[in-house]
Amino acid sequence: MALYSRITGTGSCLPPQRLSNADLVSKLAAQGVETSDDWIVERTGIRARHFADDGVFSSDLGLVACRAALQAAGLQASDIDLIIVATSTPDMVFPSTACILQHKLGANGGAAFDVQAVCSGFIYALAVADAMLKTGAARKALVVGAEIFSRILDFTDRTTCVLFGDGAGALVLESGSKPGILASDLHADGRHVGILCVPGHVAGGQVLGDPLLKMEGQAVFKLAVGVLEDAAHATLAKADKTASDIDWLIPHQANIRIIQSTARKLKLPMEKVIVTVDQHGNTSAASIPLALDHGIRSGRVKPGQTLMLEGVGGGLAWGAVLLDL
């Protein structure tokens, strides 16, 4: 009997501290950095974001999201035999945030590891989990995106510090005879490593290089729209589907302009796109599962619908997953 993987539960977590644009503008003004709510909204569509408190780590946010996903799936942590965490802001250099999360959940014994593909990390993690479940290497997985980007932002650079937020999203993926994930498409182009990166590392007990996020916004924008369109069409072709079969586009929530451009290229109205960037900002690997959980819990995204998930991030890495919920 052929094995497939299917989403059976989702969950999310946003830190309690919510910063509106006005809050952030005030914070930046105190540091001599000028920006405005109008400037941020016009260029990004972002109106608010959440920042984690000191002492809170990516695994802590992931823990809340995982517990909600398990509850939705009607499972216990002990049922899980695979945990994959997509993150660019791990709790520590090692061990993996997935192992730390596994311990906090009490789900010890199964495989646990991190995936680092920045804002496309959740797509990569989902595709890897799908492959493992289809081969029987695991039966029930937690796929998590968890980020605390507020700690790697340069608050003297208004072009980047207004974009990002913290959060986590998770889903339970179970193997079975009924198809769920239909196809995926993953790519990377290392020639573009310099346009979105954190060029620092730890050596000899010190941080060497610059440990804060750097981005060439226009370069990222131009590349992102093209590769997202290509990945979506490639994924549809693998599943023998067309864009007209998509009930919901759930893209990485980086910038409303990128989201609108991608939808337009796929000839999808914005009424068929889940948008959370206005309230969450760019939460990197957490943005897609956060948006998915929001869509489901709001009642818009329903069982039986076909979803296109896609993301692009530093690397440059990108990909898409088509699935039936």
Q: Active-site residue numbers?
A: 119, 252, 282
Q: Are 186 and 123 in contact (CB under 8 A)?
A: yes
- With 0-12 CB in 10 A as exposed, 13-18 as middle and 19+ as buried, what is 149? buried
Q: What angle do CA 280, 171, 47 make, to 5 degrees?
A: 5
- d(CA 190, CA 269) in angstroms, rounded, equals 32
Residue with tokens 């946010």, as numbered in its chain: 61
* Amino acid present at 179: P
Q: Are 168 and 41 in contact (CB under 8 A)?
A: no
- d(CA 27, CA 33) in angstroms, rounded, equals 9
User: What are the residues facing 208 on neighbouring strands?
Assistant: 201
Nearest to 166 by CA among 151, 145, 149, 143: 149
Output b/e per residue, 266-290; b: 16+ Cβ within 10 A: bebeeeebbbbbebbbbbbbbbbbb
